Structure 1
Amino acid sequence: MDQLLGAQQKLLPEMTALLQKRYRLLMTIQLSAGIGRRALGQIVHATERETRRESDILRAQGLIHVLANGMEITQEGNAVLHTLKVLVHELSGLGEMERQLEQTFKLAQVIIVPGDSEIESYAKSLIGQEAAKQLELLSQDQDTVAVTGGSTIAAITDHLSVHIKPKNLVFVAARGGIGENVELQANHIASAFALQASGTSRTLYLPDHLSEKAYKTMIKEPVIKEMMDLYDNTNIVIHGIGDAKEMARRRNSSQQELDTISQMQAVGEAFGYYFNEQGKAVHRIRTVGIQLKQLKQARHLLAVAGGASKASAILSYLKHAPRQTVLITDEGAAKNITQLMSN
Structure 2
Amino acid sequence: MQSLIDIQQQLLPDLLIVMKKRYLILRQVMLSDMIGRRTLAASLNLTERVLRAETDFLKGQGLLLIDAAGMRISDAGRRLLEDMEPFYKTMFGLSDLEERIRAHFGLKGVTIVPGDSDTSPYAKRELGRAGSAALRKVMGKDDVVAVTGGSTLAHLANQLMTQTPLKGNWFVPARGGLGESLDYQANTIASTMAKRTGAQYRLLHVPDHLSDEAYMSLMQEPNIREIVEVIRSARIVLHGIGDAMVMARRRRVDESVINAMEAEKALAEAFGYYFDRNGAVVHKMSTAGLRLEDIMETEVVIAIAGGRSKGEAIAAVMRFGHDDMLVTDEAAALEIAAIMDRE
| TM-score range normalised by the length of the shorter chain | over 0.9
User: RMSD in angstroms over aligned alpha carbons?
Assistant: 1.4
User: Which whole-Å CA distance do the structure 1 matches of 2:54 and 2:304 have between them?
Assistant: 32
Q: Which amino acid aligns with 1:156?
A: L
DSSP 3-state at the match of 2:331: helix
User: Which whole-Å CA distance do the structure 1 matches of 2:306 and 2:52 have between them?
Assistant: 30
Percent of aligned positions that are identical: 39
Structure-2 residue corresponding to 1:337: 336
Residues 4-13 or 26-35, more deviating: 4-13
Deviation at 1:2, TM superposition (A): 3.4
Unaligned runs of 5+ in 1: none
User: Which whole-Å CA distance do the structure 1 matches of 2:163 and 2:213 have between them?
Assistant: 41
User: Which whole-Å CA distance do the structure 1 matches of 2:199 and 2:239 have between them?
Assistant: 19
DSSP 3-state at the match of 2:149: coil
Q: Which amino acid aligns with 1:339?
A: A
Residues 126-135 or 258-267, more deviating: 126-135
Deviation at 1:156, TM superposition (A): 0.8
Q: Deviations over 1:71-97 (max 9, x none)?
A: 111121112112222333112221111
Q: Deviations over 1:235-294 (max 9, x none)?
A: 211110111011101111111111011000011111221111111111112122111221
User: Which whole-Å CA distance do the structure 1 matches of 2:258 and 2:205 have between them?
Assistant: 25
Unaligned runs of 5+ in 2: none
DSSP 3-state at the match of 1:156: helix
Q: Which amino acid aligns with 1:22?
A: R
DSSP 3-state at the match of 2:320: coil
Q: Which amino acid aligns with 1:262?
A: E
Structure-1 residue corresponding to 2:186: 186
Deviation at 1:189, TM superposition (A): 1.0
Residues 261-276 of structure 1 mapped to structure 2, 5 A cutoff: 261-276=261-276
Q: How many residues align?
A: 341
User: Which whole-Å CA distance do the structure 1 matches of 2:317 and 2:164 have between them?
Assistant: 31
Structure-2 residue corresponding to 1:251: 251
CA contact (8 A) 1:182 1:188 kept: yes
CA contact (8 A) 1:231 1:294 kept: no
User: Which whole-Å CA distance do the structure 1 matches of 2:144 and 2:339 have between them?
Assistant: 35
Residues 46-57 of structure 1 mapped to structure 2, 5 A cutoff: 46-57=46-57
User: Which whole-Å CA distance do the structure 2 matches of 1:229 and 1:205 have between them?
Assistant: 14
Deviation at 1:164, TM superposition (A): 5.3
CA contact (8 A) 1:275 1:281 kept: yes
DSSP 3-state at the match of 1:266: coil
Structure-2 residue corresponding to 1:233: 233
Residues 46-125 of structure 1 mapped to structure 2, 5 A cutoff: 46-125=46-125
Q: TM-score, normalised to structure 1's length?
A: 0.96
User: Which whole-Å CA distance do the structure 1 matches of 2:119 and 2:319 have between them?
Assistant: 27
Deviation at 1:187, TM superposition (A): 0.8
CA contact (8 A) 2:147 2:173 kept: yes
DSSP 3-state at the match of 1:149: coil
User: Which whole-Å CA distance do the structure 2 matches of 1:164 and 1:251 have between them?
Assistant: 37
User: Which whole-Å CA distance do the structure 1 matches of 2:275 and 2:164 have between them?
Assistant: 36
Q: Deviations over 1:165-224 (max 9, x none)?
A: 311221101111113211111011111111111122111111111112111111221122
User: Which whole-Å CA distance do the structure 1 matches of 2:98 and 2:136 have between them?
Assistant: 21
CA contact (8 A) 1:175 1:289 kept: yes
